[in-house]
Structure 1
Amino acid sequence: MEEMGLDGLIPYVETGNSGSEIESCEHHVDQILIKVNELEKGVNEVEQFYHDQSKKQPSVSKGSALGQDERQVNGLKKLQQDGCSSREAAAAKRMQQLISQFGIILRQITQHKWAWPFLQPVDVKALGLRDYHKVIEKPMDFGTIKKQMEATDGTAYKNVREICADVRLVFKNAMKYNDEKNQIHVMAKTLLGKFEDKWLPLLPKVTEEEKRLEQEEAEAQLAMQLAMEAANARMARQISNELYEADMHLEELREIVISRCRKISTDEKRKIAAALDELPVEDVDKALEIVAQYDPSFQSKSDLVDLDLDAQSECTLWRLKFFVKGALEVQEKSATVVDANNNHDRSNDNNAYNNNNKKRKKAIRNAIAKTAKKRSLKPSS
């Protein structure tokens, strides 16, 4: 948006014009500003998406193109959720098949003649094993494993490796608590070896399923990411287009208001030229850019600039008037702050400031003088 709005111009509209026209312009300005605020929220959401790949829903007016993109993003998220649920269901079914194959191995182990000490939890009290829970951090047995495999309350095993780890724990607990020469230790070690032999052929299938699941998740995330980026790119383009349209509409309203403004007087033109003489070179450059914006033939960047205020349109003159007024106010505030922070060195600072100011003014005068080497400004007489 431009640096000068309509609010500053409306008080200068000639009283002879219809008040209803002014009210209409003000109403349109309010509507445009509301729309711009909505679009800026969308811009922030798009930026947030690209920042951390997750964004909140933008707040936009119902039925707008931006709202359509919002619904599209929501639809993509729903598709992602549906696809995730579908993949999880298919993966769970495949894993259940592997668990069933693992169940065959488990039955073979539990039916071994030496498996009886491991079928139920260790009866610590009956066996007088007072230090058992001090030695064994997590007791485990085949009865507990079977119960968890058949659970339907969400505590069931999610994959084969979880069951495999608990089977190993059954035997390792027994080997840890009992001495190597103890019969229970020998039985546990023997059955653990048999289990590993039977588990080994199933391991490649489990590994393959794990890799497949990981690849599916990666591909789904990539596809969703690309779809979200495309949707957000479309949203960004639409926001840009709507911002441009709003800016053009606002510009039209400015022109309408300016066309009804009173004429800039000769005295005001002199004041504009005098104000430009007081501004830093960078602000003078900005003023020249304002002129160039509405006069394509004006070369604001050339080494020699000839600015004839009498030749400028009322629109340009009003823009220059408000620009120099604002720039001078900023300059005065900055000077006040500097003076307040440097009272203890005021004498030295003032000398330095005056010297610099003289040099700057001389440079600006040279810059805006019509016969200068670099720039010249030609105020109206």
Structure 2
Amino acid sequence: MSVQVKEEPVLVPNCEAGNLELAVVDDGNGEGDMESFGKSVDDITKRVNQLEQKVVEVEQFYSDKDLAHTNTSKSNSAGKETVNAQTNPSKGNSSAGKEKVKGKHVSSPELMRQFASIFRQITQHKWAWPFMQPVDVEGLKLHDYYKVIEKPMDLGTIKSKMEAKDGTGYNNVREIYADVRLVFKNAMRYNEEKEDVHVMARTLLEKFEDKWLLIMPKLAEEEKKQAELEAEERVNKQLAQEVEHLNMAKDLSNELYEIDMQLEGLRETVVQRCRKLSTQEKKGLSAALCKLSPEDLSKALKMVSESNPSFPAGAPEVDLDIDVQSDVTLWRLKVFVQEALKSTSKSSGGTNGQNNNNNNGNSNNNGGEVTKSNARRRKEISDAINKASIKRAKKV
């Protein structure tokens, strides 16, 4: 990029890059103004830090949402086969009893009454008596019973749990169904096929499975409705969270815009409190601009374009007329150039020989230092305030 500075770049005393100090007019109120400006900067900085935390929260919400959507999409196809296997029981097929017990589902009173009617029919069968009480393991000297049977169960225990009113009873017919099947399965597992208890258990289990199929349509309907309600609740909750974070994002955008405007106003106020640049200082600024690295020069030209939108900051060649720039722009350039040249001097070691030997390394260092706009503005304002408190009473 080629830049032609119309102000003659002749170095004059006290206008070197290292002498671009800030100085303000001392109107007798300087210290009070500086304190006020400093407090404003601190308040704005504190508010920006708070807003940054909220921005992180909003970003995390949408990041988690995208991740959850991706994982759900990947698992949908694999889950279809499992669901189909669980929701299609057939007569006489023991897989009906292996359906997943949905602990959260609470069966309706009507469905519980229908199941209670089936249970009474089974318990009143003439062959039900061996299964009404827990197995008398010690009395019958069944020393290997607990090695064969992992979870003992009997119809009497099931009945007591069905009639419990203290919250310890069943609230889902699938839970009762599983325990009834367990009673007969235990008996069939422990006794040989030709033994009477085995035959009685198998017969009662078949009758129970037949009757169970009669209430399956009602159960499936209830579970479907509950699943739909739960899905609707999840969607509503998700929508509410999205609306909440969307509103939060809008509020953050508005607040950040207001802070940006406050910083602009505060910077302009600070600059207005400063004296105008002298002709010599403008010449020194012109000379210093020509010493900037390409990256820093681009940033300086961008500052000019912010106050003058028609200025072609990105053109291959530009003419920069120092005399037509506003005081705000000149002071912004003055502060920026001073800091940029100090940074370049530190990174290069402060000698021409080191500059020549490490040219590529310094270029990388200069290009790698990028700051946020509001952080840069706070630094400019703070530098202006601090230096202004030292250099006063120098009027043009």
- The TM-score with structure 1 as length reference comes to 0.71
> Helix, strand or coil: the match of 1:124?
coil
Tell which deviates more after alignment, 96-105 or 199-208: 96-105
2:245 maps to amino acid: N
* Alignment map for 1:1-381 (pairs within 5 Å): 12-18=23-29, 19-52=31-64, 92=106, 94-332=107-345, 334-335=347-348, 353-354=358-359
Task: Note closer, same or farther for the CA distance 1:312–1:196 as it changes in structure 2 (3 Å cut).
Answer: same
Q: Are the equivalent residues in 2 in contact too, given 1:95–1:160 (CA < 8 A)?
A: no
Give, in angstroms, the shift of residue 161 of structure 1: 1.1
Tell which deviates more after alignment, 202-211 or 23-32: 23-32
1:40 maps to amino acid: E
1:145 maps to amino acid: I
2:25 maps to amino acid: E
1:194 maps to amino acid: K
Task: Note closer, same or farther for the CA distance 1:300–1:184 as it changes in structure 2 (3 Å cut).
Answer: same
Q: Are the equivalent residues in 2 in contact too, given 1:178–1:185 (CA < 8 A)?
A: yes
Report what 1:86 is aligned to: none
Name stretches of at least 5 consecutive residues in structure 2 with no aligned partner. Answer: 1-20, 67-103, 364-396
Q: Are the equivalent residues in 1 in contact too, given 2:132–2:155 (CA < 8 A)?
A: yes
Q: CA RMSD in A?
A: 3.0
Report what 2:79 is aligned to: none
Task: Note closer, same or farther for the CA distance 1:105–1:227 as it changes in structure 2 (3 Å cut).
Answer: same
Q: Are the equivalent residues in 1 in contact too, given 2:188–2:201 (CA < 8 A)?
A: yes
> Helix, strand or coil: the match of 1:123?
coil
Give, in angstroms, the shift of residue 313 of structure 1: 1.7
- The TM-score with structure 2 as length reference comes to 0.69
In 1, Cα distance between the equivalents of 2:171 and 2:284? 81
Give, in angstroms, the shift of residue 354 of structure 1: 5.0
> Helix, strand or coil: the match of 1:306?
strand
In 2, Cα distance between the equivalents of 1:39 and 1:352? 44
Tell which deviates more after alignment, 122-131 or 255-264: 255-264
Q: Are the equivalent residues in 1 in contact too, given 2:344–2:362 (CA < 8 A)?
A: no
Q: Are the equivalent residues in 2 in contact too, given 1:172–1:188 (CA < 8 A)?
A: yes
Q: Are the equivalent residues in 2 in contact too, given 1:17–1:260 (CA < 8 A)?
A: no
In 1, Cα distance between the equivalents of 2:22 and 2:336? 17
Give, in angstroms, the shift of residue 351 of structure 1: 7.2
1:184 maps to amino acid: V
Give, in angstroms, the shift of residue 227 of structure 1: 2.2
Determine which structure has greater relative contact order: mean sequence separation of CA pairs < 8 Å that are 6+ residues apart, divided by chain length.
Answer: 2
In 2, Cα distance between the equivalents of 1:152 and 1:26? 70
Cα shift readout 1:125-174 (whole Å, capped 9, x = no counterpart)? 11111101101111111122223323445443332111111111111111
Q: Are the equivalent residues in 2 in contact too, given 1:263–1:314 (CA < 8 A)?
A: yes
| Identity within the alignment, % | 56
Task: Note closer, same or farther for the CA distance 1:275–1:11 as it changes in structure 2 (3 Å cut).
Answer: closer
1:235 maps to amino acid: M
Name stretches of at least 5 consecutive residues in structure 1 with no aligned partner. Answer: 1-9, 55-89, 337-346, 359-381
In 1, Cα distance between the equivalents of 2:133 and 2:348? 87
Give, in angstroms, the shift of residue 288 of structure 1: 0.6
